[in-house]
Structure 1
Amino acid sequence: MAHPHAAAPTPTSIPGVANIVAIGSGKGGVGKTTVAVNTAIALAKLGFKVGLIDADVYGPNVPTMLGTGQQPRVLSNNMIEPNTAHGIKAISIGFISPGDKPMVMRGPMLHQIIRQFLQQVEWGDLDFLLVDLPPGTGDAVISLVQTVPLTGAVVVSTPSDVALQDARKALEMFHQVNVEVLGIVENMSHFICPHCHQEIDIFSKGGAEHTARQFHVPFLGAVELDPEIRMGGDRGLPVALLGEHSPKAKSFYAVARQIADRAKAQAAKNENILEIH
Structure 2
Amino acid sequence: MHPTIRLNNGVVMPALGFGVFQTPPEATAQAVETALRTGYRLIDTAASYGNERGVGEAIRASGVPREDLFVETKVWIDDYGYDETLHAFDKSTRKLGLEVIDLFILHQPLPTAFDRTTGAYRALEQLLTDGRVRAIGVSNFMPDHLAALLERAEVIPAVNQIEVHPYFTQSTLRSANAAHGILTQAWSPIGGITAYRGDETRSTFTDPVIVGIAEQHGKTAAQVMLRWHLQQGRSAIPKSVRPDRIAENFDVVDFELVDDELAAIDGLDTGVRGGPDPAEVTLEKFSREIPEN
| TM-score (norm. length: structure 2) | 0.38
Which structure features the higher share of helix residues?
Answer: 2
Which structure features the higher share of strand residues?
Answer: 1
| TM-score (norm. length: structure 1) | 0.40
Using CA pairs under 8 Å that are at least 6 residues apart, name the structure with larger relative contact order, 1 or 2: 1
